[in-house]
Amino acid sequence: MNELVRCAVLATILFSAALPVLEANDSAASTGAGGIQLRREANVSMEKEVLTISEAKVTVEYEFLNESDQDITTDVAFPIPAYGNGFVDPAGRREFGDFHLWIEGKPLKYATDARASLNGKDQTEVLSKLGIDIASLGHYGDNAKSEPTGQVNSLSPDAREQLLRLGLVSGADGPRPWEPLWKVSKTYYWTQTFPAHKILHVRHEYTPAVGIEEMQPDTLDPGVRKERLSALKTKAHSPADTFKGKSPAALEELYNAIDNSCVAPSLQKTIVDEAAKKYKSSEDSITMIWVDYILTTASSWKTPIKDFTLIVDSRPAPILGRVKPYAAFCWDGETKKLDASRVQAHAVNFVPKKELRVAFFSLPEVPE
């Protein structure tokens, strides 16, 4: 594996350590991915970036300019934050398995590097020698209609015992026998030539790994969130102060997700008013889906991004019974409504200082 890919995988592992931890049956955290990266290249500037985010798809279009007198050929990488088994995660397995890439409008093949680790130790060689597909976690739980077994279950007893001794799988007992316990760091990479003094058009897209949660409409009120969490932590609460029995830690994670999406007071009021008209009970929920995007990967190119555009498309993914979608995200400048479902933010000479979270809110249909 070349130097760039090793660095990209390391960066992925370091970033994933800062992500929220998923608690089974309690709350789902999103997994953030970003744009393509390379070693710091002072002669290649990002002239333009158009980032489009929806629940169903993230698309990024770039214009790069090689400002030097020589063609520059270098490795480019798209690293994915480390993921593990997502069998209990309502958002599904978070491996970004449908990454697509186009250069000058033509599809480009890329290579994939998948590394397995457990407690900071690389276990790739052990699993590879046993024929285990690391990226899919040994195809564990691929068939949702059957017991989640996968490749590990088909190994010899001695091989399974080896993995058990190393802590890479659970035992035969329990609700999920031979469950893979390793983490996967995956990187898509390719070799790219940037012609001297020419613009290169690059596009990539993937289905994001989202966070998804249900909540009472008044949860959008920051005063309500503060009061409810304080009551839970002091145990001075009634059953009405929780939603579906969430723990204080799970509620705090949810509240942080809301805080980091900057729900404007006007949008909060719109959603609460719409819910009051639509629902008969205060226990009826709204749905929040959020997408995290790592903007700061742009620092691997010559900064600033000379022309940056963010388009947020609130049209919902095809989930049955979800209507009235709304979107929220943090942005320091002005935004412009393009149509009924799309909002645009724009910046010139943009240097990202923090990551981006886009939240989508909707009101599920209530049976008559």
Sequential DSSP letters for 232-248: HHTT---GGGSSTT--H
pTM value?
Answer: 0.77
Question: Is residue 304 reached through a cis peptide bond, with omega within 30 degrees of 0 on the bond before it?
Answer: yes
Phi then psi dihedrals of residue 202, to 5 deg = -130, 140
- Indicate if 189 and 281 belong to the same structural domain: no
In a domain, 188, yes or no: yes
pLDDT tens digits along 304-362: 899 999 999 998 766 545 566 789 999 998 999 999 889 999 999 998 888 889 999 88
What is the extent of the structural domain holding 53?
3-135+182-210+296-350
In a domain, 358, yes or no: no
- The three-class DSSP label of residue 150 is coil
- Indicate if 105 and 158 belong to the same structural domain: no
- Indicate if 245 and 323 belong to the same structural domain: no
pLDDT tens digits along 100-124: 999 999 999 999 889 999 999 999 9
In a domain, 363, yes or no: no
- Indicate if 250 and 218 belong to the same structural domain: yes
Residue 217 neighbours by CB distance under 10 Å: 22
Confidence (pLDDT) at 148: 53
Phi then psi dihedrals of residue 270, to 5 deg = -60, -45
Return the structure tokens found at 38: 């390379």
Report, in this order, helix, strand and coil percent for the chain, each rounded to 5: 25, 35, 40
Residue 32 · residue 19 · CB < 8 Å: yes
Residue 206 pairs in a beta bridge with 58
**Scanning the structure block, which residue is given the tokens 């729900």?**
263
- Indicate if 95 and 11 belong to the same structural domain: yes
- Indicate if 62 and 203 belong to the same structural domain: yes
- Indicate if 61 and 19 belong to the same structural domain: yes
- Indicate if 130 and 248 belong to the same structural domain: no
- Indicate if 31 and 140 belong to the same structural domain: no
In a domain, 333, yes or no: yes
Confidence (pLDDT) at 258: 86
Confidence (pLDDT) at 338: 94
DSSP string for 192-210: EEE-BT-EEEEEEEE--B-
In a domain, 309, yes or no: yes
Distance CA 124, CA 115 (A): 5
Residue 311 · residue 343 · CB < 8 Å: yes
Return the structure tokens found at 312: 């947020």
Phi then psi dihedrals of residue 155, to 5 deg = -70, 165
Along the chain (368 residues), what's the average pLDDT of each consecutive run of 10 residues? 33 27 30 62 88 92 94 86 66 72 95 91 95 90 58 92 94 83 89 94 89 83 80 59 62 81 88 81 78 79 88 76 76 91 94 89 68
In a domain, 170, yes or no: yes
**Last-in-domain residue among 286, 307, 326:** 286
Distance CA 255, CA 227 (A): 12
CA distances from 306 to 62, 155, 258, 341 (A): 11, 53, 30, 26
In a domain, 361, yes or no: no
- Indicate if 204 and 334 belong to the same structural domain: yes
- Indicate if 222 and 255 belong to the same structural domain: yes
In a domain, 254, yes or no: yes
**Last-in-domain residue among 286, 318, 338:** 286
Label residue 131 left, alpha or beta by phi (over 0 means left) and psi (-120 to 50 means alpha).
left
Distance CA 100, CA 257 (A): 28
- Indicate if 161 and 264 belong to the same structural domain: no
Residue 127 neighbours by CB distance under 10 Å: 23
Please give the tally of structural domains in the chain.
3
